[in-house]
Amino acid sequence: MKKSFLAAAVAIGTLIGAGQAQAEQFVNVLSGGTSGVYYPLGVALSKIYADNIKDVRTSVQSTKASVENLNLLNSGRGEVAFTLGDSLSSAWSGDAEAGFKAKLENLRGIAGIYPNYIQIVARADSGIKTLADLKGKRVSVGPAKSGTELNAREILAAGKLSYSDFGKTEYLAFGESVELMKNRQLDAAIISAGLGVSAIRDLSATTAISVVEIPASIAAAIVNPVYISTKIPAGTYDGVTADVNTVAIKNFLVTRADLPADLVYEMTRLMFEKQGDLVSAHAAAKELSLADAVKGMPLPLHPGAEKYLKEKGISMTR
């Protein structure tokens, strides 16, 4: 009888353990390079979820950002991802040129988060002051087919430039670009990120820089309507003493259609209610706004996100 009792106890314990294992939800946050904005915000978001959602285990994955994130997410290798609006639009339409072989139908929106500013940073001694001055120079445009690189193509095309105009084109992450600029092996880098990105702060602390203007006329020539004309405020980086005209594009947080509605509801709620924790991770999160949560969203919202936003009185008009 004792053996039977022990066997039964072990069996019950195994079943309970199996039930607990099945109940645990993994949330992998797909972010970006460690020297950008997505990664610190991804780390903060991961901690918020782990601390506040029962039976959730989280992780953060550093990636090449938007395009890679969306492909990973659609294939089930992540639960939530950061992405630029133009990449998201291309993923939803299945634009092969942008890195999507077919429409990524498993994607669903959570909310718009903050704008990425296109920041063209040059060594001050390079002589680069305008877009035209990039001709013949060594320029990094971001990792191949990343969100940054797609932005670079749009901006250059509007300015009637192409990679063939450069003396050398590099496809590097922000941190790698900065290191080459410090070592005089690169003249300029096109960086698409929230204001105050650590890579540019690091560069400007040791190297005199200039931020190249993208004038309103160039912004107006960009075909994609998701770009808006804006300014990089004076003082954002060391040596930037006046506002600089540029363009920006909205970032979004997205998830998968097959995730439970109650989980996505909690992820959406916590992102807005714990905004202060995100701001502590990076100042770009100050621009997170409930009122703008669905503006420009190029794909359907996840039902869990939609439920929360409707409860907060947010119109679903995009």
Per-residue pLDDT of the chain (318 residues; tens, 9 = 90+): 444 444 444 444 444 444 444 568 999 999 999 989 999 999 999 999 999 999 999 999 999 999 999 999 999 999 999 999 999 999 999 999 899 999 999 999 999 999 999 999 999 999 999 999 999 999 999 999 888 999 999 999 999 999 999 999 999 999 999 999 999 999 999 999 999 999 999 999 999 999 999 999 998 998 887 888 999 999 999 999 999 999 999 999 999 999 999 999 999 999 999 999 999 999 999 999 999 999 989 999 999 999 999 999 999 887
Q: Is 226 within 8 Å of 89 (Cβ atoms)? A: yes
**pTM attached to this predicted model:** 0.82
Residues 183 and 236 in one domain: yes
Structure tokens given for 188: 């300029």
Q: What is the pLDDT of residue 126?
A: 97
| Number of folded domains that form the chain | 2
**138 Cα distance to chain centroid:** 25
Q: Would you state the structure tokens that stand for residue 79, as one six-digit string? A: 């639960």
Measure the CA–CA gap between 232 and 155, rounded to whole angstroms: 16
Domain of 59 in residue numbering reads as 24-114+251-311
CA distance 202 to 175: 9
Indicate if 148 and 95 belong to the same structural domain. Answer: no
Is residue 13 in a domain?
Answer: no
CATH number at residue 122: 3.40.190.10
Angle between helix 303-311 and helix 261-273 axes, rounded to 10 deg? 50
- The three-class DSSP label of residue 155 is helix
Identify whether residues 154 and 256 lie together within a single domain: no
Residues 257 and 109 occupy one common structural domain: yes
CA atoms 284, 277, 175, 255: torsion sign: negative
